[in-house]
Amino acid sequence: MKISFIGGGNMATALIGGLLKEGYSASDIHVVEPGELPRQALVRDFGVTVSNSADAALAGADVIVMAVKPQNMREAAGAVAPHLSRQLVVSIAAGIRIADLSRWLGGHALVTRCMPNTPALIGAGITALYAPPAVDSDGRASAERILGAVGRAVWVADEALLDPVTAISGSGPAYVFYFLEAIAEAGRELGLPEATVKDLAIETFIGAARLAAQSADSFANLRERVTSKGGTTAAALTVMNDRSVKDALVAALKAASARSRELGDEMGKD
């Protein structure tokens, strides 16, 4: 499978690195990147071929991954459009809907949309994908192989569900960091050294997540198992409940999902 990336930024380099670890050949990967220094780094670090603009090399690709920022997608798609025939186009840009990207690509229908998250940079991401009926099972498998090189890949049945996906997993790492900030602040105020509280907070999040992943119990049941009546955990959770922390989190994710939908409306306007 020959893959061309449009854009050589962080997510593209994460995907390229993941693909090479999976056994893909660098000779089968081409990157269109306008920046001179990023092009040099791509050749040095991965041995892939590069160009500074969309060119005839795209015609030989099986898959074209659109890895530019959402605000640059319309211009990038216009440059790619003349080189399209039957290639699968995979977009990893947040908020850009398939109908709009397809229109900017001159009516090209073989488009899959993906929502990865930043842990993909260390191979620990999760990506949600959506493909319209025009994309066959081989196309879906190709998209899943590419995004699966940097973590898990899951499919959604409706493109509109990528808005809540964006709110949950796309923005999700920021929520985790927010909680880590709060835990670190509390630890410092309680007298723990900075390095100690950092280790305690990070390892607690990692361990709890692994436990949840390996358990058949619900999140609520796992929480209840840690919460002894009248104990320390109960004291903490009582404060959180009194201050409506859970309600605030639910409202926050709904706001993020709504904003994702709004951004799609805004960026898709002609």
The confidence score (pLDDT) of residue 217 equals 97
The confidence score (pLDDT) of residue 268 equals 87
Q: Are 110 and 88 in contact (CB under 8 A)?
A: yes
DSSP string for the chain = --EEEE--SHHHHHHHHHHHHTT--GGGEEEE---HHHHHHHHHHH--EEESS--GGGGG-SEEEE-S-GGGHHHHHHHHGGG-SS-EEEE--TT--HHHHHHHTTS---EEEEE--GGGGGT-EEEEEE--TTS-HHHHHHHHHHHGGGEEEEE-SSGGGHHHHIIIIISHHHHHHHHHHHHHHHHHHTT--HHHHHHHHHHHHHHHHHHHHH--S-HHHHHHHH--TTSHHHHHHHHHHHTTHHHHHHHHHHHHHHHHHHHHHHHT--
The confidence score (pLDDT) of residue 70 equals 93
Instruction: Give burial (CB, 10 Å; 0-12/13-18/19+) of 255.
Output: exposed
pLDDT greater than 90 at residue 69: yes
CA distance 52 to 33: 5
pTM, entire model: 0.91
Percent of the chain with pLDDT strictly greater than 70: 100
112: left (phi over 0), alpha (psi -120 to 50) or beta: beta
CA distance 93 to 102: 13
The confidence score (pLDDT) of residue 223 equals 96
pLDDT greater than 90 at residue 58: yes
CATH 3.40.50.720 placement within the chain? 3-160
pLDDT greater than 90 at residue 10: yes
The confidence score (pLDDT) of residue 269 equals 81
pLDDT greater than 80 at residue 270: no
Sheet with 3-6, edge to edge strand ranges: 49-51, 29-32, 3-6, 63-66, 88-91, 111-115, 125-130, 151-155
pLDDT tens figures, 87-112: 999 999 999 999 999 999 999 999 99
Average pLDDT over residues 60-75: 96
Class of domain 3-160: alpha beta
Side chain identity at residue 151, one-letter code: G
pLDDT greater than 80 at residue 65: yes
Q: Are 29 and 8 in contact (CB under 8 A)?
A: no
pLDDT tens figures, 17-28: 999 999 999 999
CATH 1.10.3730.10 placement within the chain? 170-263
pLDDT greater than 80 at residue 244: yes
pLDDT tens figures, 172-187: 999 999 999 999 999 9
CA distance 3 to 26: 10
The confidence score (pLDDT) of residue 246 equals 96
Output the average pLDDT for the chain.
96
Average pLDDT over residues 145-174: 97
CA distance 45 to 39: 10
CATH number attached to the domain at 170-263: 1.10.3730.10
The Cβ of residue 134 has, within 10 Å, a number of other Cβ atoms equal to 13
